Structure 1
Amino acid sequence: MRYLLTTVLLCTFGILTAQDISLALQKEPPLTLAEKNARWQTLKGGTRVGFLNSNKRYPQDRVPEATAQNAETLVAWKGERVHTQLGVWSGKEVQVAVTVGALKSKSGAAIPADQVQIGLMGYVMTDEFRNGCGHRKPEDFDSSLVADAIHFEKRSGTVKQNQVQPVWVSVDVPAGAQPGNYEGFITVKADKEYRLKLMVWVLDKTLPATSDWAFRLDLWQHPAAVARVHNVPLWSDAHFDLMRKYYTMLAKAGQKYITASIVNEPWGHQTYDDYPSLIKWTKKKDGSWSFDYSLFDKYVTFVMSTGIDQRINCYSMVPWKVAFQYYDENLGRDTVFTGKIGSEEYNAFWTPMLRDFTSHLKARGWFGKTTIAMDERPMDAMKAVIKLLKGIDKDWKVALAGDYHAEIEKDIDDYCLASAHQFPAAVLAARAQRGQLSTWYTCCTEKYPNGFTFSPPAEHVWVGWYTAAKNMQGYLRWAYNSWVADPVNDSRFRTWPAGDTYQVYPGPATSIRFEKMIEGVQDFEKIRVLKQQYKKSGNTTKLQQLEAALTAFEIKNLERQSAADMVLKVKPLIN
């Protein structure tokens, strides 16, 4: 998304903007080595264990500026996933093991132990925003270690002297749970045994099943990255088996879109790994064309089987580099077509494919949920593609992520705006009336709200509230798993701020960012459900309170207030 090599500088010449001040307030103040050591010495070699703020990342090498709490209460709807964070920090090296049992109510009801996940968090190298998009040299950016990855399969390990080990706790409340207070204990064995009380207050409200969520989450998938990090052949049975774990995790977060490449490198190979086409194009000796959809069909069927089945976004007729690869039987090798988009040559090149692809999708029953998708492409190119598509079949759907263009708005079935733009209210209402989707996205351009490895975690929760406030239907982000060379240890990349290209880790392992994104999507759904209930029951007071709270969710307000403070202030309205 918006990975132009020509960079727009948001903060230049050392002048501090309100954005810089806000981000500085969200970070831990710098300490000298002597100051850090002095704080560790106050522990006198002792160990501390307790619940911490789930909206903060705690530096590995400094004593948390928080009091360790031995009890935590979470509030949840039935069917909701809620979380908290605890920490172990010590002035000496200790071996740590964390266990948890079922959470039980006084009535005898229980949230089973297997619905309470615990995992040690891992630290990864990050950098800073500064100038957003564009090529980067590591020496030009301040780097640090941040807690981000969550390894739910890892419940024990070594906490080194004068270090912090965060531990993430997630509770999946069953949809059929009885309302009431559930209590249990998390046991942490370190220098001694600690028992932390965990309570979950389950309200008599039910979150819809994930498959019924209205929120349109679109995190772009990168199949080749999975093959590379696991060292298996691309498109092998082993590759598909490994991808299932990642895509199932994504489906459970509410993902609605399949990212399908119909040409090689739709983003001009800006990623670390290849992005190959799912369709093989062949120009035969007699000049006719053939198209092999076997891999496309296998991949789409596979992704749908994981629960992601509402939209197939095909990238792209307008790639970042106009160079369409195909096999030429006369030449006996691969070659490329580079004709100008909208030219007679371009239309002649694409027309046979689009006609054949249309027939194939209709035969598979997928045409109605498929789009030709474009990412931040010029207006003239968009107009040309729309005209060509509609000439092939008037029912072709078009998706666009980019700036707002009134001239083509009605032709875009799935329109995702950059955060700097907004749909006019009348346009948004008309789009909803026509059954068209209206969403938004962030990328390397925005300092906030965002999902970099250095971003305040609550910004992903804020995204859900902002989506509801603007009456939009979802959020897009590049990317789910477009990993860098060593994603587990270093989230920095040759271009774009650290963590920009992935939200989860090889394993698969979730992250504090991904878990907070789920929280934001769930909050959107709760807002939607409550608004419907209030309208149906005529509870105008509650409806007006909720609507008034949503008006605070403007991006500019993040200059003066943290996302965590904004969200925590309004959470009682939905819980």
Structure 2
Amino acid sequence: MKKLICCLIVSSVVDVCMAQQTIVSLGEPLTAVGQIVDGGQYVLKNVGRNNYLYESPYTTLFMSGMPTFGTDSSMDYVITVGCDADGKYTFQTRRGRYIPEVPDGRPYTVGKAEGAGHFVVEKAANGHFTIVNSVNTAYGFDATASDFVGWNAKQGANCFYAIYPAETGAINYPLESYQEPDDSSEADIEAWSALENQSKIYVSWASKDVHYKKREVPALKMQSEHTVTAWRGERLGIEAVIFSAKGSVGNLSLSLSSWRDSETGEVVVPAEHGEVGFMRYVLTDDYRACRDHDYSLEPWLVADVIDGDGGAMALEARTTRPVWCTLEVPRDIPSGCYVVTLGITDSATGLVDSLKLNVNVDGRTLPLPSDQRFHLDLWQQPYSVSRYHGVERWSEEHFAALRPYMRSLARAGQKVVSTFLFFEPWGDQSNDKFDPMVQVIKCADGTWKYDYSVFDRYVKLMEECGIDRQINCFSMIPWDMNFRYMDEATDSYRFLNAQTTSDEYRELWRSFLTDFAAHLKKCGWFDKTCMSMDERGLSSMLDAYNLVQETVPGMKMALAGSYHVELVDKLYDYCVNYGARFSEKELSARKAAGHITTLYTSCSDVMPNIYSNSDPADAAYLPLHAVANDFDGYLHWSWLNWTEQPLLDTRFRLFGAGDTYAFYPGNRSSVRFERLIEGIQLAEKIYMLRDEYAAAGNDNALLKIESALRQFKSGNISATRTSASLVSRLHAAVNDLYVPSSLPEDVVEGMDSLVRWNGSRMTADEPVTVYVYDFSGSLIEQSAKVTSFELVNYSPGNYVIKAVSSGGKCYTYKLRHALLL
């Protein structure tokens, strides 16, 4: 089990502007508190049960967490301890974020300890905290459980800590070049030796539905030519792979050509409308759940990071390197077929190979991302960016660092600005703490005043980047019900712990809501602002709703959480957990009222989801599931909530791997994010085609679209009913390509020969000619007069198999799905 680690620095000077640091080593544990040296650095490490040091209504000593060596999070738990002449200590956190306070203002003390070197943090009778030697104290605090928020849920025996001298050093957060992580996997020498040409660098178009392993020979049908169909204004993602037994001689570089008319050869679109980059491997594992991450699971490398800068990279021997091509189809391009070439060059030997891509452009045009109907709500984490880029929060440098990320988010069709009114609404579920965007100040005379300068600048930044549909403000109901404010009388931060039923809560929020609403109206933002909550209970939500409507009638509210019939007609923006449903009547009423109704996935959803270990097509599936159930959009709680080293390891101490972010430092996209955009664009196509076909009375075309979409309604996917196969089929439907018959719920995958519906195999007296097509309609392979056809080297869901018997019967199959037309 992982141990809780907190950090302790002893110094006579409080330093809240330390450079980014990490713990690099620990010495032998102390045997007495008296060994603590003023100015020294120490780690307080749990050596008993995995308990948390928790918060009281008046103090915040240590937040729960598991910082690790080599990360700045370990320094987030650094405590500066000032020592006075009497040997008493005053505590302050490294960044001034959790300043311990007691009602009478007396300092905390460190009591002398002797013996085994195991210590317990206790609250002494005089209101002080002390670190004392102990081997059998039942709880970490000498206080009643009622003194601590949630303490009953955290209590446990043997909450002992050892104090270690610590050495710290600077931490490196790479933005440009960096060294990829590695795992324990080894190359299959036999498989690599089986390649026909050991020196050749193999290059092929590949399926973006597959996680290609770094040290495995990719299982695919080699393709030097590929065809895709797109609408004008669409963002296309296409994957290729490079692999070799020997590796490259020099560094490989990539290039995309200009777009040429397939008939005339004329350049129609400059190369700037395309971008190509290597896909980078990052650590993940198979954990898909909430609670503490299970680090006993074997980590593995997933190619999720997309380097879009076209930089050079050597190909190691016996490795596979995926490549990602992004094409932005111009909005004014004539419909037709265009040819783009992907070139791969070795700096030592010259051109390695080239791949041909045919782009069939439809005459229809997608709306601009800002005009899309689909309501995308990915919550932002601006403080990860300031930490990683090494800039002061809300400095000019911070805003400059945020800008490219938020423009990338806007390109996906993001509609909502995430703002934070009070300090840390979510307790300890993020690597970087959420500072408030509004400074709440209690004046010496007991009145309140507010500084909205950061809030205003952030909202305006998001508007500048193209995200301006809605502003969600967190949170009237934080997870620990603590509200931090600046106390003008003492010039220090204090916390008010107040439940929604208390007079203190109502006083705090009446004052704030009145002033905030006036400010929003002055800025022209009131009508698009929601007071927003995350996974809060019904009674608390009703308390908050009633208070808001009493104070500022008509102010909007939002919730991402469980379905409650009592909230259906009250919340402007209601997002329910995956699998929850509204009735048709409720959805119709909400749409008529102009309300937003969406769904979200969380750590409790194993599949589909957007973990780094999820099937890539899951991200495209989710928006389509939302549309199939008449939701307005999709929400995920984290888009940029980075782990400590997000380019190296997607695992976090809580939740499944990759749950906390889907976009990487250096404005690097991910396969998950690009596939999510793909699903949203498919949703937009469905909206448009429904309107078009209904207006034209084209019932057959409309039926084909709805039939393909209906497969997403249940939300159930499995090894035999994959997100990849369903998404591919819907692509074919909306692009008016050949579509196989609907898949039955009990269809069996994995057959190695052509199978009729009744389960009997093709017989020898009825040989067939087999044709393999991709969903663009391009013929990939033809095998004449066979009685069985092994379905190998084709990724599931991306191909159609057509079998014509000698007797004239026609059988059509979706790869590994037997279908009879």
Q: Give the shorter-chain TM-score range.
A: over 0.9
Correspondence for 1:100:
256
Per the alignment, residue 74 of structure 1 pairs with 228
1:166 maps to 2:322: yes
The residue aligned with 1:41 is: 193
What's the counterpart of residue 268 of structure 2? 110
Shift of 1:67: 2.5
1:230 corresponds, among 389, 414, 417, to 389
Aligned to 1:186: 342
Mapped to 2, the partners of 1:303 and 1:88 lie a distance apart of 38
1:322-379 deviation line (CA, Å, top 9, x unaligned): 1100011223311011011122221011110110001000111000000000000011
* Alpha-carbon distance in structure 1 between the residues aligned to 2:399 and 2:354: 41
Match of 1:64 among 207, 218, 235: 218
Partner of residue 54 from structure 1, selected from 208, 212, 231: 208
Secondary structure of 1:138's counterpart equals coil
1:138 CA drift (Å)? 1.1
Whole-Å Cα distance in 2 between the matches of residues 269 and 186 of structure 1? 45
| Distance (Å, rounded) in 1 between the aligned partners of 2:700 and 2:216 | 47
> d(CA) in 2 for partners of 1:491 and 1:306?
27
Alpha carbons of 1:63 and 1:348: their partners in 2 closer, same or farther (altered >3 Å)? Answer: same
2:281 counterpart residue number:
123
CA contact (8 A) 1:342 1:385 kept: no
Q: Could you tell me how far apart the structure 1 residues matched to 2:310 and 2:733 are?
A: 35
SS in 1 for 2:304: strand
SS of equivalent to 2:566: coil
- Structure 1 distance, partners of 2:558, 2:508, is 21
Aligned residue identity for 1:386: Y
Question: Are 2:570 and 1:570 aligned?
Answer: no
Q: Name which of 191, 208, 218 aligns with 2:367.
A: 208
CA deviation vs aligned residue, 1:482-508 (integer Å, no higher than 9, x gap)? 000110010000010110000110001
Gaps of 5+ in 1: 7-30
Residues of 2 paired with 1:344 and 1:559: CA distance?
Answer: 54
CA deviation string 1:268-291 (max 9, x = no partner):
132001100000011101111100
CA contact (8 A) 2:253 2:310 kept: no
Inter-partner Cα distance in structure 1 for 2:238 and 2:530: 39
Q: Is the 8 A contact 2:229 2:361 kept in 1?
A: yes
For 1:319, the equivalent position in structure 2 comes to 478
Q: Secondary structure at the match of 2:358?
A: strand
Aligned CA RMSD, in angstroms, stands at 1.8
Secondary structure class of the residue paired with 2:565: coil
Contact 1:99 1:155 in 2 (8 A): no
- 2:610 and 2:306 mapped to 1: Cα distance? 15
Q: Distance in 2 between matches of 1:46 and 1:104?
A: 29
Cα deviation digits, residues 291-333 of structure 1 (max 9, x gap)? 0011111111111110000000000000111110001122331
Deviations 1:198-240 (A, max 9, x none): 1100011111111110111111110110011111111111110
Which of 672, 675, 684 aligns to 1:525? It is: 684
CA distance in 1, matches of 2:186, 2:419: 49
1:570: Cα distance to partner?
2.3
In 2: Cα distance, 1:164 partner to 1:64 partner: 7
Residue 109 of structure 1: CA displacement?
5.8
The question of whether the paired residues in 1 share the 8 Å contact of 2:243 and 2:319 is answered with yes
Deviations 1:227-259 (A, max 9, x none): 111111111111100100000000011000000
Is the counterpart of residue 394 in structure 1 residue 553 in structure 2?
yes
Contact residue 347 and residue 388 of structure 1 kept, 8 A = yes
* CA deviation after TM superposition for structure 1 residue 548, in Å: 2.2
Tell me: higher relative CO, structure 1 or 2? Use CA pairs within 8 A at least 6 residues apart: 1
Determine if contact 2:186/2:215 at 8 Å carries over to the other structure.
no
- Are the counterparts in 1 of residues 213 and 302 from structure 2 also a CA contact under 8 Å? yes
Output the CA distance in 1 between the equivalents of 2:721 and 2:543. 44
Instruction: Please tell me whether residue 84 in structure 1 is matched to residue 243 in structure 2.
Output: no
Of structures 1 and 2, the larger Rg is shown by 2
Q: In the aligned structure 2, how far is the partner of 1:179 from the partner of 1:571?
A: 18
Partner in structure 2 of residue 281 of structure 1: 440
* 8 A contact 2:419–2:473 mirrored in 1: yes
Aligned equivalent of 2:292, options 135, 141, 150: 135
SS at the partner of 1:264? coil
- Residue 32 of structure 1, CA deviation: 8.6
Deviates more, 1:238-247 or 1:204-213: 204-213
Equivalent residue letter for 2:706: E
Q: 1:434 to 1:166 in 2, by over 3 A?
A: same
Which residue number in structure 2 is paired with residue 556 of structure 1?
Answer: 716
Is structure 2 residue 404 aligned with structure 1 residue 245? Answer: yes
Flag the 1:365–1:33 CA change in 2: closer, same or farther, 3 A: closer
- 47-56 or 431-440, larger mean C-alpha shift: 47-56
Please say if residues 280 and 303 of structure 2, whose CA atoms lie closer than 8 Å, have aligned partners that are also in contact: yes
The whole-number CA distance in structure 2 between the counterparts of 1:324 and 1:285 is: 18
Matched, 1:411 2:570: yes
Percent sequence identity over aligned pairs: 35
Indicate conservation of the 8 Å contact 1:118/1:155, yes or no: no
**How many angstroms apart in 1 are the aligned matches of 2:567 and 2:627?**
24
Q: 1:362 aligns with which of 521, 524, 548?
A: 521
Question: d(CA) in 1 for partners of 2:416 and 2:673?
Answer: 17
Runs of 4+ in 1 over 4 A off after TM superposition: 31-34
Question: In the TM superposition, what are the counterparts of 1:251-330 in structure 2 within 5 Å?
Answer: 251-330=410-489
| 2:302 alignment partner, one of 125, 146, 151 | 146
2:533 corresponding residue in structure 1? 374
The 8 Å contact of residues 109 and 178 in structure 1, kept in 2 or not, is answered as no
Q: Which residue of 2 aligns with 1:471?
A: 630
Task: Give the alignment's TM-score, normalised by structure 2.
Answer: 0.65
Q: Residues of 1 paired with 2:202 and 2:267: CA distance?
A: 32
**3-state SS, counterpart of residue 522 of structure 2:** helix
> Which residue matches 2:791?
none
CA offset digits 1:23-75 (Å, max 9, x no partner): xxxxxxxx9957x1111112234321111101212000110011221111110
Structure 2 residue identity aligned to 1:258:
V
| Equivalent AA in structure 1 for residue 734 of structure 2 | I
SS at match of 2:310: coil
Matching residue of 2:114 = none
| Contact residue 60 and residue 145 of structure 1 kept, 8 A | yes
* Residues 2-17 of structure 1: pairs in structure 2 closer than 5 A: none
Q: Distance in 2 between matches of 1:485 and 1:231?
A: 13
Measure how far apart 1:127 and its partner are: 1.2
- Match status 1:536 vs 2:658: no
Q: Deviations over 1:419-446 (max 9, x none)?
A: 0211111111111011111100001110
Aligned length: 546
Match of 1:24 in 2: none
Q: Does 1:481 align with 2:640?
A: yes
Alpha-carbon displacement from aligned partner over 1:464-486 (angstroms, at most 9, x marks no partner): 21111111110000211000011
CA distance in 1, matches of 2:339, 2:385: 39
Q: CA deviation at 1:174?
A: 0.3
Letter in 1 for 2:200: G
Amino acid at match of 1:52: A
SS of 2:569's partner is helix
SS of the residue corresponding to residue 410 of structure 1 reads: coil
For 2:104, the equivalent position in structure 1 comes to none
Q: Structure 1 length as normaliser, TM-score?
A: 0.92
Is the 8 Å Cα contact of residues 41 and 91 (structure 1) preserved in structure 2?
A: yes
Quote the Cα distance in structure 2 between the aligned partners of 1:375 and 1:255.
Answer: 19
